[in-house]
Structure 1
């Protein structure tokens, strides 16, 4: 019993006519009649009562119809799943994300994802939150990992991922390292080592500067997180980091909470009007489960 014979059988049962079934399936009627005849011979049962003008199922035909519909339904489900799996073998996922997230959470996420889906290609663009939003709009990335806030675009679909504290990061032995908390305005005169424009870290400093009507003492700007950490640990200046960035570091860097405390919510977003590929959907599901 092959699937094509079952398909012909179900279509004849649905339409009540060999002719209509042939028209629907774009198959010559003699071919359909021959297939059904072979099916009846194979089962040694009569499936259709042909004594009337309209074709009707026999009791045996009605019993087979239940199974045939279930079988064909499962075959269709399997076909779709196999198509999706073939797509995953060729899929590419383009991701934009901030350096702080990319350097600490992301390597392990990529490692585990690639174990599960080794054929998928992942490319990463490191950029600040504001730049990630632009990359999404220009369709240069499929998924953007960024800090959620008022800058979020209405045409972006968003899934919250995690909440993390932003802290002042100082070298060990710095006079302010003994404080339990610091106001943003208090650190404006300190030598600051920051990311370049487009990063929320820098935006926090600039907002505090405007509020205090005092220019920030920015002594060095870079988009290299490792360089910022190195300069701060050597006493070149201080910075703002998500707490997770120095969570597992040695004692050369000291985190101090802000007053009032600042918590950033990170999320994944993509364009609502852009098709999200199966590969990207798979990555998003994996990311949600991971975090």
Structure 2
């Protein structure tokens, strides 16, 4: 088939022009070369494709059938070339991003706002799930890039840190005062008796905090698991308990006094968050643009 493609191109041009001389001019090859190509194609198919006469050539019935197929094929190729040119001219592309709901709302959206403004023809698909799920999707090549908290093992991922986050415990002042009324004065007793609101175990933040509890011998008796951080914050605001949240996401609450930060004997170390993608992936032009965008820090 590959060797016959040029023959079909010549056949299609002759069929459209109805004249070998015109086809030769259009294809910039000699008339004998045209005639030879047609003869070879007819031999390959073992059937005449044209009827020759003094005015030119006319398709046989079998030639008409073949022409219907070659015409559609070459029209499709032309449309394909036009599409590729348009993609190149408009820089059209597609990026699939994986991110947790929380990081999407507070971190990714500001990035995307500027990136989309500068690259309006790049399609963005967002898949919201835990960091662990995002890493799995990256391994399976189901997404192009993920915004994640830096895991202990990056495996085959390239990771670029864009910020640090700080985990804190917060509650309403009323909730803490009620705990003190029950003569709970030291921090350990607060953690043992209070409702501690945590993300579920599929979240990398939960693993990080569980490790913090283990290393510092902090025992939690009443842990309530919540599916996402926005709900954690809302439950803390209504006085349900002490919530482990990212400090930057409750700045306004802390400033207004809606929530207060629970002091810790052992501070929680800050964590890195950033964009990760497979180091085995072949990067598209759109991905290259996005990588350069966040590395330049255009939103800061």
Q: Give the TM interval when normalised to the shorter protein.
A: 0.5 to 0.7
Give the corresponding residue for 1:162: 163
Q: Displacement of 1:83 after TM fit?
A: 8.2
Structure 1 Cα separation of the partners of residues 188 and 293 of structure 2: 36
Q: What does residue 243 of structure 1 align with?
A: 247
Q: 1:276 to 1:226 in 2, by over 3 A?
A: same
Question: What aligned pairs does 1:73-222 form with structure 2 within 5 A after superposition?
Answer: 85-86=88-89, 88-89=91-92, 91-153=93-155, 155-175=156-176, 187=191, 189-211=193-215, 212=217, 214-222=219-227
Instruction: Say if 1:164 and 1:263, in contact at 8 Å, map to a contact too.
Output: yes
Counterpart of 1:14 in structure 2 is: none
Which residue of the partner structure matches residue 42 of structure 1? none
Matched-pair contact (CA < 8 Å) for 1:130–1:151:
no
The count of corresponding residues between Structure 1 and Structure 2 is 207
Give the Å deviation of 1:143. Answer: 0.7
Alignment-derived partner of residue 280 in structure 2: 273
RMSD: 3.2
Q: Deviations over 1:202-258 (max 9, x none)?
A: 1134324545384552224223x3222111100112221221111234432223464
Alignment partners' CA distance in 2, 1:183 and 1:83: 63
What's the TM-score once normalised by structure 1's chain length? 0.61
- Shift in CA distance, 222/87, structure 1 to aligned 2, threshold 3 Å: same
Listed as ranges, the gaps of 5+ residues in structure 2 are 1-27, 30-84, 179-185
Moved more, 92-101 or 268-277: 92-101
Bigger CA radius of gyration: 2
SS, match of residue 158 in structure 1: strand
1:275 partner SS: coil
1:255 is matched with 261
Secondary structure at the residue paired with 1:270? Answer: strand
